Amino acid sequence: MAEAMSPMKTVAVILAGGIGVRVGLDVPKQLIKIAGKAIVVHTLEAVEHNANIDEIIIMMNAESIHELDHLHTSGQFSKLTRILPGGETRNDTTKLALAALPDDECKVLFHDAVRPFIDDRIIDDCVAALDSYDAVDTAIRSADTIIQVDDDGCISDMPDRSILRRGQTPQAFKISTIREAYEIASGDPGFKATDDCGVIFKYLPDTKIYVVEGTSENMKVTEPIDIHIADKIFQLQSKSLSSESAETPDLTRKTVVVFGGSYGIGKSIADVAEGAGARVFAFSRSATDTDVTSRSSVRKALHEAHGATGSIDYVILTAGVLSVAPLVKAPKKQIKRTIKTNLTAPAIIAQEAFDFLKESQGSLTFFTSSSYTRGRAGYSLYSATKAGVVNLTQALAEEWADEHVRVNCVNPQRTHTPMRTQAFGEEPDNTLLSAELVAEVSARVMDSPMTGQVISVRL
């Protein structure tokens, strides 16, 4: 019986050689942090988790290569074998990668580090296509009309949009094919190409380049606005946590501390966590005389929970105040109380909880409001403090990422709670979320691996 041929090895090369000039920041764009992690790390995670990828190499901007040293020691990336310095151009970087790869035939995927939303379907399609083709590109249809202009800046042609595509990555090849193309190109003094499929197209014109359908989410973070768009895409990806069909995590033997846990959303979170097997400590001013604006009071509560169980896995802060009034008419005491409870308290709790959460590699969950996106008349201070909580969430997620402490923020739509009833009176039940639903989502958020996210809960 003939021995079955072993499948061809597949190597992913993540191209991270850019310097981020267009983004306008003082760090290479692949190191910009979104949702608590550098963009290149998000990309690496997506590629690492794909079952068809056997090995990963990162080609990094030479001046910043030390910024990725921690990836070797993190224990997260078993497929990552090397982080190598890239070249001055995209093509130079590809040539360095090819020189580092083995002589044996294999499949190789080149992917931009600043395309963090690559998904399994695209990777799988590229790898599978190499069974029939020697070169594969990824592209999407153009939603815009493409025009060609002459030297005078006037339209010279308007190609049929239906046959046009916008190129993305990965670009995938049999390694012998892409090596041959670059060898031929090296003999051309006028060699110039913007990507690797362009090298194949020009120097191996008889080689068919198959096109895999990309996605609009598989965007490249290049311009300043792309950072904001990418952040919103990460938020959209967290919508699955809000699904009513999603399961409550198993929290057996986990310790959950809820500040504001005597009523409303906080009480519901405590109930859900306890039902999931957690050891729950609910603190509030009314039930335990815990003042979230007092550092000593917060510290006492945390030490009580840690002393009883030996660990704190999750800390949730739901306590807040909502006062509706024009700012010029707001009493000084009300202004001070709003700022202390809604913004100072989260900062105090973050400081006091950090060491416990670092020990458990746990998570901190804050709460915001839909008013954080736009200040509203009568809600000026409330909106401002809730926007501050969102910024605090995102900043702490970055600050604590290396310590593996996750920080997220839940943004519930109008919810039936005592605080809301006190501010607005009774409202129709069908216009409000239940505190129980918000609690279910919150339990999933605190146990999820994500960080730096604002998770919206809506009817």
What is the bridge-based pairing of β-strands 148-149 and 155-157?
Answer: antiparallel
Residue with tokens 């970087």: 93
- 316: three-class secondary structure by DSSP: strand
**Cα distances (angstroms) measured from residue 143 to each of 163, 164, 213, 216, 226:** 12, 10, 14, 10, 18
**Cα distances (angstroms) measured from residue 139 to each of 76, 170, 431:** 30, 9, 43
Which CATH class, in words, describes the domain spanning 243-457?
alpha beta
Tens digits of per-residue pLDDT, 398-449?
899 889 999 999 988 765 555 555 555 555 666 566 778 888 889 999 999 8
CATH topology of domain 10-236: Spore Coat Polysaccharide Biosynthesis Protein SpsA; Chain A (3.90.550)
3-state helix, strand, coil in the chain (%, to 5): 45, 20, 35
CA 79 to chain centre: 21
CA dist 140 and 146 (Å) reads: 14
Query: Crossing angle of helices 264-275/435-447, nearest 10°?
Result: 60
**pTM as predicted:** 0.76
CA dist 48 and 54 (Å) reads: 9
Domain ranges of the chain: 10-236, 243-457
CA dist 104 and 175 (Å) reads: 8
User: Would you give the DSSP letter of residue 86?
Assistant: -
Contact status, residue 385 vs residue 374, Cβ threshold 8 Å? no
User: Would you give the DSSP letter of residue 35?
Assistant: T
The b/e string for 42-81 (b: 16+ C-beta within 10 A; e otherwise) is bbbebbbebebbbbbbbbbbeebbebbeebeeeeebebbe
Query: Crossing angle of helices 175-185/90-100, nearest 10°?
Result: 130
- Which residues have C-beta within 8 Å of that of residue 332, sequence separation ≥ 6? none
Residue by residue, pLDDT tens for the chain (459 residues) are: 445 455 799 999 999 986 655 544 567 888 888 877 889 999 999 999 999 999 999 999 888 899 999 888 878 899 999 999 998 888 899 999 999 998 999 999 999 999 999 999 999 999 999 999 999 999 999 888 889 999 999 999 999 988 999 999 999 999 999 999 999 999 998 888 889 999 999 999 999 999 999 999 999 998 888 888 888 888 776 666 666 556 889 999 999 999 998 878 899 999 999 999 999 999 999 999 999 999 999 999 999 999 999 999 999 999 888 877 788 888 899 999 999 999 999 999 999 999 999 999 999 999 988 777 777 787 888 889 989 999 999 899 989 988 999 999 998 876 555 555 555 555 566 656 677 888 888 999 999 988 988 888 766
Q: Quick one: tokens of 97?
A: 């990668």
CA dist 238 and 455 (Å) reads: 6
The b/e string for 21-33 (b: 16+ C-beta within 10 A; e otherwise) is eebeeeebbbbbb
